[in-house]
Chain A
Amino acid sequence: MKNLKLTERLGLVSYRNQSKSEIKPHIVVDTDVCNSTCPHKCTTWVCPANCYTMDDNDQVHFQVEDCIECGTCMYACDQGAVDWNFPDPEIGRGVTWNFG
């Protein structure tokens, strides 16, 4: 079997409120911390949904749309940059698992 790319894997996930153009992010990341004092920027590789990315200038960016609510970043970030919450059922994103 060919291994799937992460984008193909995430394509299999059923996200909530996809028809809404504006959603309320359930995770707020203070990327100023990531891009100033953080010695590792580990969220850019430990997140299973690759919500944290690093650009060519080694700057960390965060998007919540692909988040599958696992919580990994909340534990992995030891710099206090990740403010993690559960998505709002009405105006948040998050997942509905088909198998779980």
Chain B
Amino acid sequence: MDEKFDCIVIGGGVAGLAAAMTLARNNMKFLLIERGEFAGSKNVSGGVLWGSDLAKLVPNYWEEEDGGWERFINHRRLTLMDEQSAFTIDFKSSHFNETPYTGVVVLRSKFDNWLSGKVQEAIDASDYAMDSFIATNIKVDEVIMENDKAVGIRTGEDEFHADSVIIAEGVNNLLTRQVGLQDKYVPADHMLTGIKEIIRFDQEVLEQKFQLNGLSGMSNEFVGSATDGVEGGGFLYTNRDTISLGLVLSIKDMREKKKSPHDVLNHFKTHPAIADIIKDGEVVEYSAHVVSSGDSRVMPKELYKDGILLAGESANLLMNAGKAIQGMDYAMRSGILAAETIVKAKEKGDFSSATLKEYRSAMDQSYVMKDIKGFQDAVHLLHTETMQQKVPNLLCDFGRQFFTIKNEPTPKSKDMLKGAVKRHASFWELAKLGFKAGKSL
């Protein structure tokens, strides 16, 4: 392996694998380096892979008997919680049964490993079947820079050389910091800790519990008392015979409120609405993974420099604007676009930023940057106390009155709502919220 590669991809996650697949399909000579035992072995997500880009990478993936994914989403729920109640917006549609699916639940240790097998197949079918590699168990210590241009990577005593490097190392982006695209210290302000339990059930029990049919699945997000007063939210996704149940919690807020993520997870699990769901399950894994909030202030200064492109969470490409937590789909699209830029750079014989800046414009024109730019106000709104606490409390208070039937005269709903608003917020606050939400969503 002393020859020079067209590209070295750092990281076997969704971004790195999407890049590698695109490179292989375009007959590029590349090296993908993964520090874990296999691609996926270090990776954690909630997680739903939203959108249909997966079908571009692995056409008709749904026809495979046992593909890398768990279930497709045709049932979505958003739950607002107070300490005792859960007020849920519920939407299920057979429209979502059609392929390509618009969201699949994945468990990364299995999914990434499967996708990496598909990349190997693409390598085998390429002109560089014997010269492109997926290398595992290697930690990249440094991106080698010459005259401020990336020329390869160093791992221990060994060096590998390439015309370009795609950094897809994940959220803890040490190499992105090393090459100067992100500050050495990233403060906690827009970073959250995701923690999750995988809870196993008998598959039939799980399918009945969540009204699943075949490989259909459900996603449920939570705001309000799920997080015990810490900024953030909760999630529940159905896998084949397990559920992924977890929380995403603001690190800064935990620091200030002296809250431990595992305590908050226990609090969430004892909420009556959750406790009833999980009562006969068995926890089989506990994991954690940091994410960014989607606030563009935490994103790297640029997505490229001479010989370097950033993809996925290395560039903090992740957003929750209230509708869904999107990260893996951003990783996939950015990986594809990064690799396409490398293909163009090779054609031109120029890997400097003069060519690589095309990645930036491709990203800006894609839904990824359009959504991140377009929904900044929604990200901010979601993290306000009004959305985090007052609205869930107010709605649950209203719900409790509305759904209570007493053997006495029933007040009109508008009076119940008025009362709930007064107890938890004010009409002025709600009017402001409605105006902001109307604009930002």
A-side interface residues toward B, CB under 8 Å? 1, 3-4, 6, 9-10, 12-13, 16, 40, 42, 45-46, 48-50, 68-72, 74-76, 78, 80, 84-90, 94-100
Contacts and interface: CB of A to CB of B under 8 A. Distances in A.
Nearest to A88: B139
B110 A100 contact: yes
A95 B288 CA distance: 11
Given A3-B269, A12-B284, A99-B284, 6 more contacts: A1-B275, A9-B286, A48-B193, A70-B289, A78-B188, A100-B111
Contacts of A16: 37
A72 B172 CA distance: 9
A98 B285 contact: yes
Contacts of A45: 254, 258-260
B171 interface: yes
B41 A97 contact: yes
Interface of B: 35-37, 40-45, 107-112, 137-139, 171-172, 174, 185-188, 191, 193, 195, 197-199, 242, 251, 254-255, 258-262, 266, 269-270, 275, 278-281, 283-290
Contacts of B275: 1
Nearest to B263: A45
B255 A99 contact: no
For the complex of A and B, the 10 pairs showing the least CB-CB separation, nearest first, are A100-B108, A100-B109, A9-B286, A70-B288, A71-B172, A48-B288, A42-B255, A89-B137, A71-B290, A75-B188
B290 A75 contact: yes
Contacts of A74: 172, 186
18 contacts: A1-B283, A3-B270, A4-B283, A9-B262, A9-B286, A12-B286, A13-B287, A42-B255, A48-B262, A72-B193, A72-B288, A75-B187, A75-B188, A76-B255, A84-B172, A89-B139, A96-B37, A97-B109
